């Protein structure tokens, strides 16, 4: 089945609501035309670290993933999610005199390639773009394990117990019962305005 993309802001809002993706915009951000959203789960890493998944869209045309402090819960950095394109720039070509005290234009230009972000000027398009990004990278792939707070707590506890136990044989700290279990992934589908979206 071909995955449908969200094409309207109404569908994007409905999906955010359905998946529990909350807007956590602060008043000062709202005044600047910024909106901030947070996923209802954290990304769990092998060392037990859990990362809050927070995203923002800006009046300037940027869409970003926020890097959140693990204990304070504040965003301290970000990285761009906008698509990129290559563009050419031309600079005047200069040459130095013999004692390197003066430059003179050669009458030529040097070409340089640079990568620039493609801005998304309309608010609704930024909203839709973010929704499709989240669906593709957090719900439609196998890279992200969606786990609850209790599971994260237990994984951290077992991880700590494993390293405290000096007699482990190098295997994973799971019981034989867990090793023999077969886990299957449920297929999750959503229908909005007659369009079916596969979230699994």
Three-state SS across 98-118? CCCCCEEEEEEEEEEEEEEEC
Specify if 33 maps to a domain: yes
For residues 29 and 78, membership in a common domain is answered with yes
The pLDDT, as a whole number, for residue 59 is 95
Whether pLDDT at 109 is above 80: yes
H-run or E-run covering 156: helix 149-164
For residues 96 and 194, membership in a common domain is answered with no
Choice among 26-30, 173-177, 189-193 with the minimum mean pLDDT: 173-177
The length of the chain is: 200
Average pLDDT (74-88) is: 90
Whether pLDDT at 116 is above 80: yes
For residues 73 and 136, membership in a common domain is answered with yes
The range of the structural domain enclosing residue 102 comes to 84-117
For residues 42 and 138, membership in a common domain is answered with yes
Average pLDDT (147-172) is: 60
Whether pLDDT at 124 is above 70: yes
Model confidence at 44, pLDDT cuts 50, 70, 90, reads: confident
- What is the spatial distance between Cα 53 and Cα 28, in angstroms, rounded to a whole number? 21
- What is the spatial distance between Cα 137 and Cα 143, in angstroms, rounded to a whole number? 8
Higher pLDDT, 96 or 185: 96
Specify if 62 maps to a domain: yes
For residues 98 and 191, membership in a common domain is answered with no
Strands annotated E in the chain? 22-23, 35-44, 50-57, 63-68, 75-80, 84-96, 103-117, 189-192, 195-198
The pLDDT, as a whole number, for residue 112 is 83
Higher pLDDT, 98 or 143: 98
**Mean pLDDT, the chain, integer:** 80
For residues 170 and 101, membership in a common domain is answered with no
Phi, psi of 38 (to 5 degrees): -135, 135
Specify if 1 maps to a domain: no
Model confidence at 57, pLDDT cuts 50, 70, 90, reads: very high
Whether pLDDT at 97 is above 70: yes
- What is the spatial distance between Cα 171 and Cα 66, in angstroms, rounded to a whole number? 35
For residues 142 and 185, membership in a common domain is answered with yes
- 75: its two tokens: 């965003």
What separation in angstroms does the CA of 39 have from each of 31, 129, 169? 23, 16, 37
The pLDDT, as a whole number, for residue 88 is 82
For residues 56 and 128, membership in a common domain is answered with yes
- For β-strands 35-44 and 75-80, DSSP reports them as unpaired
User: What percent of the chain shows pLDDT beyond 70?
Assistant: 70
How many domains, the chain? 2
- 92: its two tokens: 């005047």
- 137: its two tokens: 């990278």
- 43: its two tokens: 């990304």
């Amino acid at each position: 089945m071909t995955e449908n993309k969200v094409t309207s802001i109404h569908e994007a809002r409905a999906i955010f609501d359905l998946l529990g993706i909350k807007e956590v915009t602060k008043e000062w951000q709202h005044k600047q035309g910024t909106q901030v959203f947070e996923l209802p789960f954290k990304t769990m890493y092998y060392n037990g670290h859990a990362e809050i998944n927070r995203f923002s869209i800006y009046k300037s045309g940027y869409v970003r993933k926020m890097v959140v402090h693990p204990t304070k819960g504040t965003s301290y950095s970000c990285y761009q999610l906008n698509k990129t394109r290559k563009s050419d720039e031309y600079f005047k070509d200069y040459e130095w005199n013999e004692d390197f005290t003066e430059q003179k234009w050669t009458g030529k230009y040097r070409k340089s390639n640079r990568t620039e972000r493609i801005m998304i000027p309309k608010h609704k398009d930024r909203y839709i773009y973010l929704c499709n990004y989240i669906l593709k990278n957090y719900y439609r792939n196998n890279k992200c394990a969606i786990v609850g707070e209790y599971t994260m707590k237990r994984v951290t506890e077992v991880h700590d117990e494993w390293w405290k136990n000096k007699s482990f044989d190098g295997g994973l700290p799971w019981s034989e019962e867990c090793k023999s279990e077969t886990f299957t992934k449920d297929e999750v589908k959503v229908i909005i305005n007659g369009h079916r979206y596969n979230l699994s």
